[in-house]
Structures are given as structure tokens and as C-alpha cells.
């Protein structure tokens, strides 16, 4: 049994204590170290992704058809045909799964910042390799599928707001699944299970930290929306700080 498994076993039996102020300060100090680099990465890759998707859609269906079909009204679930619904749902799941290892790299960036280590561009793709790739994709697929299915079903019965609340709740209780995979070397199902267990041990403190981080990340919308790319990394720093405070990081497991 490695250090992470021992800690998780202890948490399961005895719970844990977490200090709001200490975790917030840790997250903020970490954020200051990675904000500029992470913001530039997010901005550049988002820009390139939008260009790629836009170019692909124009080349496949044409700009006129794209403008006509990709309207908010036509993209509502109740207005989608069965084939379009399956296409949109499948595309969303694929994109979510393919980009989840990339998002996981920002947690590694936070870890490098915490240890004052250099983070290289190549590290952004460090989790697109076995064994991390398989477990991250399985975890993302399961979480995204459950969220999508329940959201779709509730939307059909005109309970969209409840569907969104449940989607946010699922994201919240699985918050630590990816850190448990990349830092704790857990399998996808184990990581999801332990993430839920950990969150339910101290739900209100962790929720408070996430809400504060979310509000902080939205500050970037003030004045110039580009700023959000540089405030969004605060969420990754908070995720890292919460995991570090509760589970801790065994350096030997991730090197």
C-alpha cells in the first residue's frame, strides 16, 4: 500500500481536517506563480482550437449553412433532430475526453510552481501517455456521460435548471478524481469513488473554497474578457491546494 492509499484509508475511517484560510493562501500563492504562463497557454491554445474548429466547419458544411444551423435556437435540445442530437452529444463527449489530459497538465503546472520547478511546453502533453491517458479518459468519459444523460433527460421534461444543478453537483463531487489519478496513481473508478468520499467528509468547506475560486476566476471578465484566461488558472491552483491539503502528494509516485 503506497502513501496515497494509506492516507485515503485513514480518511475513510477517521475523516480529515481542512483549514479554509490555509488552503486559500496556498492556492493564491501558487496562482501568482503560474498565472502568466498558464494564462498565455490557455489563450493561445483556445485561439488555435477555435480557428481549427471554425475552419473545419466551414470546409465541411460551408459558411452559409454554418451560420444558419449554429444558432442558439436550433442548438436547443428540443429542436435537434435525433441524428443531430447524437452528433452533438458524441462530439461533446469526444472533445471532453480528448482535452482532459491537457487540462490535467495544469495541475502538474501548479505542482511545479509549488516546488519552484520549471514547467516546459512539452509537459502540457505529459498525460497523453500510458498509464495516465487511459485512466483520465475513462474518468472523464464516465463523468461527462452521466452529466450529459441526466441533463438531457431533465431537459426533455422541461427541468433544465435542475439538470444544470445536478451537472454542477457531479463536477463538484468528482473534483479530486483527476488529481487522484495523476498524483495518487489510482485507477479511474477508484479515483471517482474516493473523490466523492473525500468531498462528502467536508462538503461545505470545500464548496466554499471552490465558490471563492470560481468568483475569483470571473474577475477576468471585468474590463477585457481576455483577462479571464489569466484568472482561470486560479481554479487549477485551488484544486491542487485542496488535494495537497487533504491527501498530500507523494513525490515518488509522480516522478
In a structure prediction context, what are the per-residue pLDDT tens digits for the chain, which is 255 residues long? 678 889 999 999 999 999 999 999 999 999 999 999 999 999 999 888 888 877 776 666 666 555 555 555 555 555 555 566 677 678 788 888 999 999 999 999 999 999 999 999 899 999 999 889 999 999 999 999 999 899 888 988 889 899 999 999 999 999 999 999 999 999 999 999 999 999 999 999 999 999 999 998 888 777 566 778 889 999 999 999 999 999 998 765 555
Q: Could you give the number of structural domains in the chain?
A: 1
Q: According to the model, what pLDDT value does residue 51 have? A: 86
Residue 76 has what pLDDT? 57
* pLDDT in the model for residue 252: 57
| pLDDT (0 to 100) of residue 21 | 97
- Per-residue b or e along 202-233, where b marks 16 or more CB atoms closer than 10 Å to that residue's CB: beeebeebbebbeebbeebeeeeeebbbbbbb
Question: Residue 253 has what pLDDT?
Answer: 55
Joined together, the cell numbers standing for residue 76 give 436547443
The pLDDT of residue 91 is: 79
The domain in which residue 208 lies consists of 3-254
Secondary structure of residue 183 in the 3-state scheme: coil
Helix (H) or strand (E) holding 109: helix 82-114
The answer to whether the CB of 1 falls within 8 A of the CB of 241 is no
Q: What is the pTM of this model?
A: 0.88
The closest alpha carbon to 245, from 206, 200, 203, 212, belongs to 206
CB contact at 8 A, 143 and 177 = yes
pLDDT of residue 224: 62
How many Cβ atoms sit within 10 Å of the Cβ of residue 59?
9
Amino acid at each position: 500500500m503506497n502513501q496515497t492509499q494509506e492516507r485515503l484509508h485513514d480518511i475513510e475511517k477517521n475523516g480529515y481536517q481542512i483549514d479554509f484560510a490555509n488552503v486559500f493562501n496556498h492556492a493564491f500563492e501558487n496562482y501568482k506563480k503560474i498565472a502568466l504562463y498558464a494564462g498565455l497557454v490557455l489563450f493561445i491554445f483556445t485561439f488555435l482550437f477555435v480557428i481549427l474548429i471554425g475552419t473545419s466547419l466551414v470546409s465541411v458544411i460551408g459558411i452559409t449553412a454554418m451560420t444558419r444551423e449554429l444558432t442558439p435556437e436550433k442548438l436547443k435540445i428540443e429542436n435537434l433532430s435525433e441524428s443531430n442530437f447524437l452528433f452533438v452529444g458524441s462530439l461533446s463527449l469526444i472533445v471532453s475526453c480528448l482535452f482532459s489530459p491537457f487540462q490535467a497538465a495544469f495541475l502538474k503546472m501548479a505542482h511545479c510552481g509549488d516546488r519552484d520547478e520549471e514547467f516546459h511546453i512539452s509537459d502540457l502533453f505529459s498525460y497523453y501517455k500510458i498509464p495516465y491517458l487511459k485512466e483520465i479518459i475513462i474518468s472523464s468519459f464516465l463523468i461527462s456521460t452521466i452529466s450529459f444523460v441526466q441533463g438531457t433527460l431533465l431537459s426533455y421534461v422541461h427541468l433544465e435548471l435542475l439538470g444544470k444543478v445536478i451537472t454542477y453537483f457531479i463536477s463538484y463531487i468528482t473534483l479530486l478524481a483527476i488529481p487522484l489519478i495523476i498524483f495518487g496513481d489510482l485507477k479511474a473508478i477508484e479515483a471517482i469513488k474516493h473523490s466523492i468520499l473525500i468531498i462528502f467528509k467536508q462538503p461545505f468547506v470545500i464548496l466554499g473554497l471552490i465558490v471563492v475560486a470560481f468568483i475569483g476566476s470571473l474577475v477576468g471578465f471585468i474590463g477585457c474578457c481576455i483577462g479571464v484566461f489569466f484568472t482561470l488558472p486560479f481554479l487549477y491552483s485551488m484544486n491542487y491546494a485542496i488535494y495537497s491539503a487533504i491527501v498530500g502528494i507523494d513525490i515518488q509516485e509522480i516522478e
